[in-house]
Amino acid sequence: MEERGAHLPARRVPRRLMRIDVNAFVGGYPYRRVPGTSPDGLLRAMARTGIDEAWVSHLPSLFWRQPMEGNAWLYDIVTHEPRLKPVPALHPGVSGWERALGEAVDRGAPQGGAIRCITGSIPPGPRCGFLLRRVGRHICPDDGRAPRGRPPASSNDKSAELPAAAVRALIRSDEDLRLLITHADRGFIEEVHFGSTPDEAARLWWDVSWIWGPPEDQLALLLATIGRDRFVFGTGQPLRIPEASMAKLDLLELEPRQRAGIESENARAGLLR
């Protein structure tokens, strides 16, 4: 942004704002070499892009048969760096998830009550219902999309992408539940949002990491049709370049207050209360 500042209108370069990345990972990617996967690498990227806080999950464990086994490593990492907030993984279809959930609650984790729920196409049921009630706030499910070029080698990859109907069923399962959905594209977001009631849609948030900016301008369209208060800043780093999410916002006609909402205030007001 500093390099682009001379070429952008002044109103597109707001004063320094709090920036929270709600969708970041640490740990190696199992299928190819990806730079910046270490905690130090993530912190360097945060410093480079002006990100003050990152909600992080343990990347390799998302591909393990028992994804909760990576949570201990995640907790240890974040205790040494206050800018990193843990979002541990839970899989309600795998034994031991109740113990992992209890540990997360006992540790005061996760951030704002968020967990990364590895559900795939598992429909809501007694186990998911118990999980939602125990968390009491919100879950951070991945819509199933993964970086292009990944071979289907994980036991957690056998299910299809998370359908929009599953997200609508989840948000309807508990009136106190709030959901943050990551890596969703325009079609998925619209299918969920416009198929939900106003009350349900008001308990859904979306990160911007997988939404196209210019020249397609899909992010601008969604902000106009669904509302700026439904979107939060996320990068998907290190699997995606964090500057890409920043560039999308740089190129929008946003007032400082509107940009602050996406970069931090929507997450604070909706997901941390």
pLDDT tens, position by position, 95-121: 888 888 888 777 765 554 566 766 543
Looking at residue 32, its pLDDT comes to 87
Give the rounded distance of the alpha carbon of 229 from its chain centre. 15
pTM for the model stands at: 0.83
Say if residue 131's pLDDT is above 60.
no
Q: Across residues 220-233, what is the average pLDDT? A: 97
Percent of the chain with pLDDT over 90: 47
92 vs 1: CA distance, rounded Å: 41
Question: How far does CA 136 lie from the centroid of its chain?
Answer: 18
The helix/strand/coil state of 89 is strand
Q: What tokens were used for 51?
A: 């990100």
| Distance from the Cα of residue 258 to its chain's centroid | 20
First to last CA, the chain: 31
**CA atoms lying within 13 Å on the CB side of residue 272:** 12
Helix/strand/coil percentages in the chain, nearest 5? 45, 10, 45
Identify whether the C-beta of residue 198 lies closer than 8 Å to the C-beta of residue 223.
no
24 has which bridge partners? 56
Q: Give the model confidence (pLDDT) of 157-177 as tens digits.
A: 555 677 889 889 888 988 888
Architecture of the CATH domain 20-271: Alpha-Beta Barrel (3.20)
Q: Where are the alpha helices (DSSP H) in 50-175?
A: 71-79, 97-106, 126-135, 164-172
Residue 58, φ and ψ in degrees, nearest 5? -85, 110
Peptide bond into 238 cis (omega under 30): yes
Average pLDDT of the chain to the nearest whole number: 81
- CA R_g for the chain: 18
DSSP H helices, 116-205, are 126-135, 164-172, 186-193, 198-201
Please give the average per-residue pLDDT across 218-232, as a whole number: 97
Number of residues that this document lists for the chain: 273
